[in-house]
Structure 1
Amino acid sequence: MLPIHAVLEPLKAVLAAGNTAVLAAPPGAGKTTVVPLALLDQAWLGEGKILVLEPRRIAARAAADRMASTLGETAGGTVGYRTRLQSRIGPKTRIEVITEGVFTRMILDDPGLEGVGAVLFDEFHERSLDADLGLALARETQGVLREDLRLLVMSATLDVAGVSRLLDGAPVIEAEGRAYPVETRYLGRNPAERFEEAMARACLTALGEETGSVLAFLPGQGEIHRVARLVSERLRLPNVDVVPLYGGLDRAEQDRAIEPAAAGRRKLVLATSVAETSLTIDGVRVVLDGGLSRVPRFEPSSGLTRLATVRVSRSS
């Protein structure tokens, strides 16, 4: 049983009594794929749909596939997804997993959100312009046109008290604990050693000392390919597949990274931040974080937004 199951009944009670709530749950608690399915049978929903907002296309598709699999279906049945480039929605779809940008266009085209009973903002702690705008528009719809519309803001790490105040004192439900025990280690780094060399060495050490697959976070596509080359040149384990995972990959390559390793084999998944939230890669026993991330930064002097490589704090 996942940690989120312990708070499903209180969450249902809160949404039955009111129209807005905040859910805080640690990574791996199951909120992304368990909560939408748990709300399908609620009386207030009727025949309405549930929209689940994800920050990234790969997360939207993976969440829909996981929920559909739980029901013994494939995406496009009870659960479907819609992104800027792909859509798998059927006439019987009750849960639509969509990206935040798609939701913004949807609510601008139809402010009343006809046929929608609930909107779930997943991974809200990532805070994007589309997520903030989407929540503001949904609150306006709720206040002016659809008092019956349920809004649920879900997050792994967030100032839940602040969000509750923003939502006029919405009740806060918190799920405690993790599904599995987690041990955290901090490795030193030689300042003279290049970042890719240090990450390749850490990956090889993890593969040699631990069982199962390994997930390593890197700031971008270039670092992923350089580390993959270094690891492949030095790897002495014949049963390990080195696979990349980033937003620019095609669907088949993304699926290869996410799906479980073949029988008798292990994987080293080299990923950007797309794998940080809402994705579950089965079989991963070790997670490595290089401590660098690539984030958009606005430059007032040029009026442009560029990607900057920044350090990630331990608390993150």
Structure 2
Amino acid sequence: GAGKTTLVPLHLLERGPPGRIILLEPRRLAARASAFRMASLLGEEPGGTVGYRMRLDTKVSAKTRIEVVTEGVFARMALEDPELAGISTVIFDEFHERSLDADFGLALALDIRAGLREDLNILVMSATLDVARIAALLGDAPVIESKGRAYPVEIRYQARPPQARIEDSVADAVRAMLATEEGSILAFLPGQAEIRRTAERLEGRVGDDTDIAPLYGNLTRAEQDAAIKPAPAGRRKVVLATSIAETSITIDGVTIVIDSGLQRQPAYEPATGITRLETVKVSRAAADQRAGRAGRTAP
């Protein structure tokens, strides 16, 4: 809740070295949302001073000074222009999520700085990162800490019978929280199928003042934007999301997070050469990030 994603690039734009700033985000939703937020703080629309670049969706112009990109896009930028000409700073946001593209991008940036661009600034940001190890990797880089703005969050554990389907357990928890607590709910499920089945179990079994909103990567931009908008006055919202909502976005009005503790991630099988999706438990860092979504705007 420190505002790293949106305030640090704007601060560097005003007081940092001349040149473009590249901000890497692990997800397209976070990249687009952060670009819109920074542009709004400047009184502009994306594509002006702040733009974004991702697969199948780009808004940049000759005026763009801050460019928010997904991690794979940055790797291509570095390979096509090994000097990163005109770029003064590269920011790796939410680095604790650790993807192949993010690690490869950091390796490329470090290589470019060592061989071609001693003036290239590299900044790694995260709320839950093992700071000592990454600082050592960056040549004992200085560490800046911010307490941010995090409201207290009460953690409750609810056992799930081993034979129970995850969508049944999450739907039961959602109904229980709607009956006993105030505010909107953000529920984390491993994938699109579980989100669809949970929504079916909630259909007609929540109050008339409650909207059910799915949030996952395959939705259209309009559907994703509708999910992260705050609920209208007098209404509540239940957002059923994958780990896409884990970092870098704030859904106003959410004071309850229900975490299934699961996520779906790709796993490469060397024997077959095939990458398949598997459902695994989330890491402690991810669980902390998810819980923190409940304390972004209120206890």
Note the alpha carbon deviations across 1:219-267, whole angstroms, 9 max, x for none: 00000000001011321x1111101000000111001001111222211
* 1:270 and 2:243 aligned: no
Note the alpha carbon deviations across 1:282-302, whole angstroms, 9 max, x for none: 111111101111111122221
Q: TM-score, normalised by structure 2?
A: 0.92
1:191, distance to aligned residue in structure 2 (A)? 3.3
Rounded Cα–Cα distance in structure 2 between residues aligned with 1:255 and 1:185 = 29
Match of 2:44 in 1: 73
1:162, distance to aligned residue in structure 2 (A)? 0.8
Match of 2:133 in 1: 162
| Among candidates 10, 14, 23, match of residue 52 of structure 1 | 23
Match of 1:245 in 2: 215
* 1:205 and 2:176 aligned: yes
User: Can you give the 5+ residue segments of structure 2 that lack an aligned partner in the other structure?
Assistant: 288-299
Match of 2:99 in 1: 128
Rounded Cα–Cα distance in structure 1 between residues aligned with 2:47 and 2:125 = 24
Rounded Cα–Cα distance in structure 2 between residues aligned with 1:161 and 1:313 = 19
Which AA in structure 2 matches 1:299?
E
| Superposed counterparts of 1:185-264, under 5 Å | 185-235=156-206, 237-264=207-234
Rounded Cα–Cα distance in structure 2 between residues aligned with 1:82 and 1:210 = 40
Rounded Cα–Cα distance in structure 2 between residues aligned with 1:219 and 1:276 = 12
Pairs aligned (count):
286
| Superposed counterparts of 1:3-14, under 5 Å | none
1:312, distance to aligned residue in structure 2 (A)? 3.0
What is the DSSP-based 3-state SS (H/G/I as helix, E as strand, rest coil) of the residue aligned with 2:247? coil
| Superposed counterparts of 1:52-131, under 5 Å | 52-131=23-102
Note the alpha carbon deviations across 1:170-207, whole angstroms, 9 max, x for none: 11122235432221111122334322111001011112
Note the alpha carbon deviations across 1:22-80, whole angstroms, 9 max, x for none: xxxxxx222111111111122x512x111000111111001101111222222112111
Rounded Cα–Cα distance in structure 1 between residues aligned with 2:118 and 2:225 = 40
Q: TM-score, normalised by structure 1?
A: 0.87
Deviates more, 1:305-314 or 1:94-103: 305-314
Match of 1:309 in 2: 279
Which AA in structure 2 matches 1:38?
H
User: Can you give the 5+ residue segments of structure 1 that lack an aligned partner in the other structure?
Assistant: 1-27
Rounded Cα–Cα distance in structure 1 between residues aligned with 2:218 and 2:24 = 20
Rounded Cα–Cα distance in structure 1 between residues aligned with 2:244 and 2:137 = 28
Rounded Cα–Cα distance in structure 2 between residues aligned with 1:133 and 1:221 = 28
Which AA in structure 2 matches 1:73?
E
Match of 1:23 in 2: none
| Among candidates 145, 157, 164, match of residue 116 of structure 2 | 145
Which AA in structure 2 matches 1:258?
I
